[in-house]
Amino acid sequence: MQNFRKSLGLGMGALALLGASLGASVADDHGKTAKRYEGLNVPDRLGQQFPDFGRMPSPGVYDGRVFRLSQDYPRKKPNMKKDKAIQKILKIDFKEDWYAYAMAVRDYVFEGNAHANDIENSFNLEDNKVRNWYHIPWQHYGPNGREGFHGLTKEGPILKQMLAPEQVTPSYAYAVGFYNEPGGYTIGQVWPTPAYPDLSYMKAGNGFPIGTVVGKVLFTTLGADEVPYLEDPVSWNAYIYNGDIPGNTGKQCNQNQPECQSVTTVNLIQMDIMVRDPRADDTGGWVFGTFVYNGTLGNDNKWDNMIPVGMMWGNDPDYRMSSNNATPTKTIINPELKETVINQRMVDGKPELPPSHLGWGGRLNGPVDNPNSSCMSCHSTSQYPTVSAIMPFLNEPPVSIPAVGTEAPDDWMLWFRNVQCTTPFNPGEAVSLDYSLQLSQGINNYMTALTNREDGLFAYEYWYSSDNAGNKPGEDDTPNEKKTYPVLRGAN
């Protein structure tokens, strides 16, 4: 990892590019950017590209195909009105015909990515001949960073019986996410060069364009012996920590060391989607969906076994009654929710959806997500700096999970607001990253790497509120020091 940091040429002036004196527009190339910030310590020559991954057996130990970060971000905002596939999705009523909407987005993500006869080479984005997809950089860094087979990052914990009553082994999920062309455009505005991020585009109130689609596939080392619906799985090779592999007797540690990791098989369990849909503007601007792999359906094309858990387009902020179903034997659907819908379809007399814990109060969450949160709740915290934790019980001081059958207090419900896209979770304390937790994590990783390399602290690690006249950047007053949080799925 040290070599990665050196190759990026991270200079002391790079953090100044994030400050309050940012220019009004993002440069089209490094030369223009360097001119805008003439006098700062901007390197004359940048690394050619972002690192692809951070964890992998050494070359020579493994010499096969590896993950390649898709990072040729569009310089011009795409005209999605000419994209027939997106326009088809945006014409489906996501409230009245939610299942058709979810499946249309699933098929859009799968097209050119999911190969029925070549599963191991699926979602190598450089192979897609239908449309361009992009990854967010700086997910390679740190012990949870990208492994080299498929770019999987280590996600949150999978507790015992969280997936099924037969599940006796705790583990962790591993995942890789990707954005379509309008999403790639915004990524390129935040990361105009591999040397530094630039928040001016987001700070100006911009976000992801209408028609942005985000996909994320999530895997587990668990199999059908503990999770029955994972029979006949979609499987990949991956470089995984020994402690997350059932029965592995190798060294147990969460450090990027060869003796702590092994090449093993992981099974697809979940897929998440996000769509920037203007019809959801009243409740935040994004439509979320999550899917679960149900191999018991027995479809010839295994990817067709990925079926919707449900969709949500708001957090139902007026519904406060606390409930969860952390170890599900059946799916408990809350009929009081107006902005979440859950799959109740029957196939051959059986529920299409395996027993699922869902999220807090019955809101939408996937099988490897925390049952005391929701898709939209977590993503609404995306901002820089990350001055609020991704979930209330991970905050400091922590907000206790409300007892089942009681009404949640106001401090808990802060995480279940309908936060408007491009609006920070903590107004006046951070810049919104428009529901993209990967953007948050990438910038956090960059800051950690830069701090470690320079063996010091940087002014931008301390947030200066624009509403506090005594703490404006450039003045000598004591800064408003804020705790920041890692962007990780957490356990209660």
| pLDDT tens per residue across span 123-151 | 999 999 999 999 999 999 999 999 999 99
Q: How far does Cα 152 stand from its chain's mean position? A: 11
pLDDT score for 481: 53
What does the DSSP 8-state code read for residue 104? Answer: H
pLDDT at 452: 82
| Nearest of 58, 238, 68 to residue 149 by alpha carbon | 238
**Interacting residues of 261 by C-beta distance below 8 A, sequence separation 6+:** 55, 147, 239, 240, 241, 242
> Is residue 214 within a helix (H) or strand (E), and if so which, with residue range?
strand 213-220
Within 63-145, residue ranges assigned H as helices are 84-91, 98-110
Q: What is the pLDDT of residue 454?
A: 66
Is 306 strand, coil or helix?
strand
Single-letter amino acid, residue 252 = Q
SS3 per residue for 26-55: CCCCHHHHHHHCCCCCCCCCCCCCCCCCCE
Q: Phi-psi region for residue 9, left (φ > 0), alpha (ψ -120 to 50) or beta?
A: left
Closest CA to 72 of 235, 185, 217, 224: 185
pLDDT of residue 486: 75
**What is the chain's alpha carbon radius of gyration, rounded to the nearest angstrom?**
22
- Identify the bridge partners of residue 229 per DSSP, sorted by sequence position: none
Distance CA 332, CA 158 (A): 20
Q: How many CB atoms lie within 10 A of CB 108?
A: 22
Q: What is the mean pLDDT of residues 58-68?
A: 89
Name the DSSP class of 304: G
Alpha helices by DSSP H, 322-407? 375-379
Is the alpha carbon torsion for 305, 309, 310, 311 positive or negative?
Answer: negative
Helices 437-454 and 181-190 cross at an angle (nearest 10°) of 30
List the single range of 42-46, 153-157, 272-276 with lowest mean pLDDT: 42-46
Phi then psi for residue 295, to 5 deg, are: -70, -15
The token duo for 435 is 């529901």
End-to-end CA distance of the chain: 31
DSSP reduced 3-state for 381 = coil
Question: Residue range 58-66: average pLDDT?
Answer: 88
Taken in order 465, 408, 398, 145, the sign of the CA dihedral is: negative
Specify which residues 220 forms β-bridges with. 267
Strands 383-384 and 346-347: unpaired
pLDDT confidence bin for 36, thresholds 50/70/90: very low
Nearest C-alpha neighbor of 371 from the set 323, 310, 308: 323
Query: How confident is the model over 449-462, as pLDDT tens digits?
Result: 988 876 665 555 55
Averaged confidence pLDDT in the chain = 87
pLDDT digits (tens, 9 = 90+) for 368-399: 999 999 999 999 999 999 999 999 999 999 99
Report whether pLDDT(251) > 70: yes
Give the model's pLDDT for residue 15. Answer: 35
Query: Three-state DSSP class for 237?
Result: strand
The pLDDT tens digits of the residues spanning 96-111 come to 999 999 999 999 999 9
Length of the chain as a residue count: 492
The model's pTM is 0.87
